[in-house]
Amino acid sequence: MIIKKAELLITAVKKEQYPDTVVPEIAFAGKSNVGKSSMINALLNRRSLARTSSQPGKTQTLNFYNINDSFNFVDLPGYGYAKVSKSEKEKWGKMIDTFLHNRKQLKEVILLVDIRHEPSNNDIQMYDWIKSCGYTGYVIASKADKLSKTQQIKSVNIIKKTLNITDKNIIIPFSSASKSGVEQIWDLFVNILGL
């Protein structure tokens, strides 16, 4: 994918704040700190377009990125952040729920999980939620640079089993640090976006 343009369109919380673009979109979900924002930067070859942090809870809004004026990426705030109050969790749930149910141009919601860990109950719930909204259930296993190739294969099998991933629900090991998996991800995205 040749990235001619990549810019933050808008940060939104409410439906009224979503951009009024009609281009297809892909959104990224996953627990805080799993590497969603880092992946957006790595895919777009931009160092700090999406804000990242070693502290969980960096992304708090729906962040819409315009790419080449032909599609949008949507960076979602992560879950499972321990310091968050119950009312904040409810707000988070409503924000995501409204987005998943009201965005016609949203083609897929991709779940990111850390390749080193067995998916948590939150991950399982998020995955089931994504699928119950009608999305395919593609998974990206992040931070692959932290494991050897042999360990990656083992981990991918554990993730598949825990999330009950079937063959059509491709899972791709990926690293923002080494950029491994970038080509496979773009192949998938080009397909999803119909480019």
Is 155 a residue that touches ligand GTP (CB under 6 A)? no
The site for ligand GTP, by CB under 6 A, has a size of: 24
Q: Which does 56 bind (CB under 5 to 8 A by kind): Mg ion, ligand GTP, none?
A: ligand GTP
Which residues fall within 8 angstroms of residue 83, CB to CB, at 6 or more apart?
A: 57
Nearest approach in angstroms of CB 97 to ligand GTP is 17
Buried b / exposed e over 42-70, threshold 16 CB at 10 Å, is bbbeeeebbebeeebbbbbebbbbbbeee
Interface of this chain with ligand GTP, residues 4 to 43, rule: CB under 6 A: 30, 32-38
Beta carbons within 10 angstroms of residue 195's beta carbon: 12
Nearest approach in angstroms of CB 3 to Mg ion is 19
Which residues fall within 8 angstroms of residue 111, CB to CB, at 6 or more apart?
A: 29, 30, 123, 126, 127, 130, 137, 138, 139, 140, 163
Find the binder of ligand GTP among 95, 143, 165, 192 (CB under 6 A): 143
For tokens 């970038």, the residue is 182
Is 59 a residue that touches ligand GTP (CB under 6 A)? yes
In the complex with Mg ion, the residue whose CB is nearer, 59 or 175, is 59
Q: Which does 118 bind (CB under 5 to 8 A by kind): Mg ion, ligand GTP, none?
A: none
Which residues fall within 8 angstroms of residue 110, CB to CB, at 6 or more apart?
A: 26, 27, 28, 29, 138, 139, 140
- What is the contact surface with Mg ion in residues (CB under 5 A)? 36-37, 58-59
Walk across the sheet containing 171-173 and list its strands: 6-12, 62-67, 71-75, 25-30, 106-114, 139-142, 171-173
In the complex with Mg ion, the residue whose CB is nearer, 51 or 154, is 51
> Nearest to residue 70, comparing CAs of 105, 32, 39?
105
In the complex with ligand GTP, the residue whose CB is nearer, 45 or 70, is 45
Q: Find the residue with minimal CB distance to ligand GTP.
A: 78
Q: Which does 33 bind (CB under 5 to 8 A by kind): ligand GTP, Mg ion, none?
A: ligand GTP
* Residues at the interface with ligand GTP (CB under 6 A): 30, 32-38, 52-54, 56-59, 77-78, 142-143, 145-146, 175-177
